Structure 1
Amino acid sequence: MTSTPPPASGRRRWAALVFISVAVALIIVDSTIVNVAIPSIVDDLGIDSTEVQWVQEAYTLVFASLLLLFGAMADRFGRRRLLLVGVAIFTVSSLLAATAPSGELLIASRFVQGVGGAMILPTTLSLLNATFRGRERAIAFAVWGSTIGGMAAVGPLLGGWLTTDFSWRWAFGINLPLGILIVAGVLATVPESREAARRGIDVVGAALSVVLFGTLVFGLIEGRTYGWWTATQTFTAGSFAWPFALSPIPVAFGISLAAAVASLVWARARSRAGRPTLLELSLFDIHSFRNGNVAALVVSLGEFGIILSLPLWLQFVLGFDALQTGFILLALAGGSFLASGFAGAMAGRVAPVAVVRAGLALEIAGVVWTGLVVRPEAHWGWLVPALLVYGMGVGLATAQLTGVILQDVPVEMSGQGSGTQSTSRQVGSALGVAILGTVLFTSTGAVLGDRLETAGVSAAQADQVVTAVVDSAGAAIAGLVADPATAEAGQAAQEAFSDGTRYAAFTAAGFLMIGLAASFSLGGTRRRDDAGADREVPAA
């Protein structure tokens, strides 16, 4: 049972949707805006390559680790309350990041940002689930999903503008006025809701969850850096240095597996004893929830593959700056927002799973189209329609798949359900980044090495060029092309990086095809009509 205030007016509900969507935009933009600001941060703070990785990944690591915990806490202590706390933590830590005088303090601020972001994402979903019903819920989820897809593309544009015209510090500082706006809007428009029978928190389960997802995401993100089995680079944390020939990555995966088994055993024991658990295992008895989470994980493997590799290719091969790259990626945002209007119009008329499948089909088409366009001599104009199609697919699939996953979850468990599906997506995204990053850089290195060898370059020189291009993520290409002595190698690097980008795009399309196939395990979907009654709708 859920403790809910008197129903809000229709106008107030839609105003609440605006501020909830802005809260989602806050964390999505921040997760992408930093990528284009990194070069300026390096110049200003003098951080090394290891610190660069942690600036980018500290947020993701903490964020994914805490989603499940904060989803459960939202149900027990109040969804609006936890959202407000999360926004406050995120805003204050953003201010600390914006004023950080050193790389160490910037990384620490990013860790704290991850805590705030993990409070915000599942809470926004559970608030939508508790506030909207019937056709309105489908529209709300469409707006929420399109915000995620659109803001993922707006982030690089905003970051490029702020970094180019002002300072990298404004990439974090802009969160301060946005945070104040969100807090004021949520207090004015969003009603509080929580589980009526609050029974405390499963502390042991929470700790096991943090260990499980923290080590899993660490392994997925860092596998290419430190080696999937044998250590290729020394892992350091403060004064500690990894002393073994075995990479820390399989150790991290082993700890994650052990924590997963311990979590299941612990949850079953507490459930049999009638005590609260971090995640109600009964949720996985719900067909749409169980199969929907599997589909969401697989789809997330390929859903944002373009955003991983395309900005690098646009800047380092075609020569665009950060702001120009952001403008090109804006087509993705446009397609996503365009899709939200269509999804809203179709709500109550078409089965949500049919919209998911249509969205995935558009994503596949957009990614394949992009892969076919990627060439060193490509014109950016051919990318815009491809990204528009891809963005429309993201806008349709993301929100409607979320709706399918949560449609049969009891409202009093919506925080746990939201946290679980968000975790599934984050783990899928981390796995996708690891795989697509490996495809991009491994294939770039292999193709470039072969072309240099064919051109008669010595093995030592070829290895030096390949290492420079791969380790710099393509940034070394411009210098190679500009120097007459290495211009030929630079052109080979442009072609190889284009091939790597294309292979990464096709790999992402493959994952999306598997996700499309997985969506058929959802079968028919249950849809609520405007009166709130449930009725079955055949799958398309």
Structure 2
Amino acid sequence: MTSTTQTCDPDPRRWRILGLVGVAQLMLILDVTVVAIALPHMGADLGLARETLTWVVSGYTLTFGGLLLLGGRAADLFGARRLVLLGLLLFTAASLVAGLAESGPVLLGARVAQGLSAAMLSPAALSLVVTTFEGEERNRALGTWSALGGSGAALGVLLGGALTAGPGWPWVFFVNAPVGLVLIVALMSQLPKQPRPATTSRLDVPGAVLVTAATGTLTYALIQAGDDGWVTIASAVLFAVAAVLYALFVARQRLAASPLMDVRLLIRRPVAAGTLLILVATALMITVFFLGTFYLQNGHGYGALVTGLLFLPVALATMVGANAVGRFMGAVGPRLLGFLGLLVAGAGMAASALWDSIAALVIGVAVAGAGTGVVFVVASATALGQIEPHEAGLASGIVSTFHEFGATLGAAVVSSVAATSIQGTDTNGFSRGFATGAIVAVAAAVLALAVTPNPRAE
């Protein structure tokens, strides 16, 4: 072990590389919440209904999450450097189209294209982080990466408020263009050249189609339940179709010559626990922002800028939670930290549900942000901490997939639970939405306590 460490000197550019790919990942995360704050204005300008506005968020995260496994596999097959640069270029172009959109279909098409390019970029960028760093430095790098994901989502609401109130909602997309171009130039000079891996494996496109179709069907069922009801024949059929498609995906992975993912990797206890935590944490995060923006703008008449400023405590609390957890991970262990983080998030959600006031909302979602910030770091460290280098792209794709599916399903569920409030009929739906988040957080906390491994004991 000592001789290997001496002969494999760390790349002196590793922290610069982390900074650059971290900004790229931050741009992808921001594109969920920076858009959430602008949804009421998009709906008013383009004449979009609740279902379409939900798909503006879920269409991006669904495509992003559904193709992430394919992107992670592509990073292993063709090289992470190539996928990062190509993904950045396509994401920049799709952002320009979204900003120029003058109709719902064009906007949704651009959001799908953004999700496609993000699916290339995100797992390849995380794969670079995992393979560039080793040992304790890898844990520090993953902590920084996770903090970007949690705090960046909250900061996106603040940025979205400023851009929507200033030059207008199209600028939540236009701002990606100069940042993307600068990152492409910088990464071309900093990332070391990578030879194309010598492999005859192929990409499992049918597998990617199956898992995306399954989650898309489930998302559609959840969104439609807000209008048609949860206990209907149509909902039952859609849920059944989603289950069948997921089963076909698993069968495909067992039979394919070059499967999209190794199912055995997903059932490893650390990976399974980490993906559960990342799914729930992201669903709770999107619940806060999706409900909060409609509550403040439609329910209380606040402008986009004031709404963004009111979410500033969420950004700060999320960063504090994500950064503080790294100091206690070794002493306390991920199991207890994940359990406590989810309980704190649930308590914040409950406060927002029980008291209908601006102060209760701001304090409650800030507390929830601190809890989810803890869970994001615990999830990434648990799922990726013991991954071998040759599995880095695939494991990163799995973790990122569940992150985006969490956002997709979270937006769909709360959109339906709070449908009457989002449409302006009453305000009771907001309380129901936050109460649903609190119940999910507490249930997930109990489950996490049971399934999260304890490295010290093992």
Structure 1 length-normalised TM: 0.75
Which residue is equivalent to 2:261?
A: 279
Q: Distance in 2 between matches of 1:192 and 1:200?
A: 22
Letter in 2 for 1:538: A
Letter in 2 for 1:416: L
**Match among 442, 448, 455 for residue 519 of structure 1:** 448
1:391 aligns with 2:391: no
1:268 aligns with 2:254: yes
Change (3 A) 1:396 1:252: same
RMSD: 2.9
8 Å CA contact 2:415–2:422 kept in 1: the answer is no
How big is each residue's C-alpha offset from its partner over 1:110-134, in whole Å with a ceiling of 9 and x where there is no partner?
2211111222333333222222223
Change (3 A) 1:319 1:105: closer
**Match among 430, 439, 448 for residue 417 of structure 2:** 439
8 Å CA contact 1:301–1:512 kept in 2: the answer is no
Q: Distance in 1 between matches of 2:191 and 2:454?
A: 29
8 Å CA contact 1:195–1:413 kept in 2: the answer is no
The higher relative CO (CA closer than 8 Å, separation ≥ 6) is in: 2
1:329 aligns with 2:311: yes
1:349-364 correspondence to structure 2 within 5 Å? 349-364=331-346
How far apart are residue 43 of structure 1 and its match? Answer: 4.7
Q: Whose radius of gyration is greater, 1 or 2?
A: 1
**Match among 495, 501, 504 for residue 433 of structure 2:** 504
How far apart are residue 347 of structure 1 and its match? Answer: 5.3
Letter in 2 for 1:263: F
Q: Distance in 2 between matches of 1:512 and 1:196?
A: 44
User: Per the alignment, in what secondary structure is the counterpart of residue 538 of structure 1?
Assistant: coil
Q: Distance in 1 between matches of 2:139 and 2:328?
A: 9
1:21-170 correspondence to structure 2 within 5 Å? 21-46=22-47, 51-170=52-171
1:457-496 correspondence to structure 2 within 5 Å? 470=420, 473-474=423-424, 493=426
Letter in 2 for 1:345: R
Q: Distance in 2 between matches of 1:44 and 1:313?
A: 19
Letter in 1 for 2:94: S
How far apart are residue 329 of structure 1 and its match? Answer: 0.8
Q: Distance in 2 between matches of 1:392 and 1:185?
A: 33
Q: Distance in 1 between matches of 2:374 and 2:422?
A: 35
How far apart are residue 52 of structure 1 and its match? Answer: 4.3
Q: Distance in 2 between matches of 1:435 and 1:156?
A: 20
8 Å CA contact 1:283–1:409 kept in 2: the answer is no
8 Å CA contact 2:50–2:422 kept in 1: the answer is no
Q: Distance in 2 between matches of 1:317 and 1:198?
A: 56
1:344-383 correspondence to structure 2 within 5 Å? 344-346=326-328, 348-372=330-354, 374-375=355-356, 378-380=357-359, 383=361
Which residue is equivalent to 2:221?
A: 219
Change (3 A) 1:94 1:301: closer
Question: Which consecutive residues of structure 2, in runs of 5 or more, have no partner in the other structure?
Answer: 1-6
How far apart are residue 360 of structure 1 and its match? Answer: 2.2
Q: Distance in 1 between matches of 2:189 and 2:328?
A: 30
Change (3 A) 1:192 1:344: farther
How far apart are residue 364 of structure 1 and its match? Answer: 2.5
Q: Distance in 2 between matches of 1:512 and 1:197?
A: 43
1:204 aligns with 2:216: no
User: Per the alignment, in what secondary structure is the counterpart of residue 163 of structure 1?
Assistant: helix
How big is each residue's C-alpha offset from its partner over 1:440-493, in whole Å with a ceiling of 9 and x where there is no partner?
34xxxxxxxxxxxxxxxxxxxxxxxxxxxx27533x6xxxxxxxxxxxxxxxx4
How far apart are residue 201 of structure 1 and its match? Answer: 1.9
Change (3 A) 1:136 1:395: farther
Letter in 1 for 2:430: T
**Match among 293, 297, 310 for residue 311 of structure 1:** 293
8 Å CA contact 2:58–2:408 kept in 1: the answer is no
User: Per the alignment, in what secondary structure is the counterpart of residue 142 of structure 1?
Assistant: helix
Question: Which consecutive residues of structure 1, in runs of 5 or more, have no partner in the other structure?
Answer: 231-245, 442-469, 477-492, 527-536
Which residue is equivalent to 1:297?
A: 279
How far apart are residue 278 of structure 1 and its match? Answer: 0.9
Letter in 2 for 1:18: G
User: Per the alignment, in what secondary structure is the counterpart of residue 31 of structure 1?
Assistant: helix
How far apart are residue 437 of structure 1 and its match? Answer: 3.1
Q: Distance in 2 between matches of 1:182 and 1:34?
A: 21
How far apart are residue 99 of structure 1 and its match? Answer: 2.1
How far apart are residue 137 of structure 1 and its match? Answer: 2.2
Letter in 2 for 1:505: F
User: Per the alignment, in what secondary structure is the counterpart of residue 304 of structure 1?
Assistant: helix
How big is each residue's C-alpha offset from its partner over 1:175-227, in whole Å with a ceiling of 9 and x where there is no partner?
10111122233334344678664522234333333333333333334432455
Change (3 A) 1:285 1:47: closer
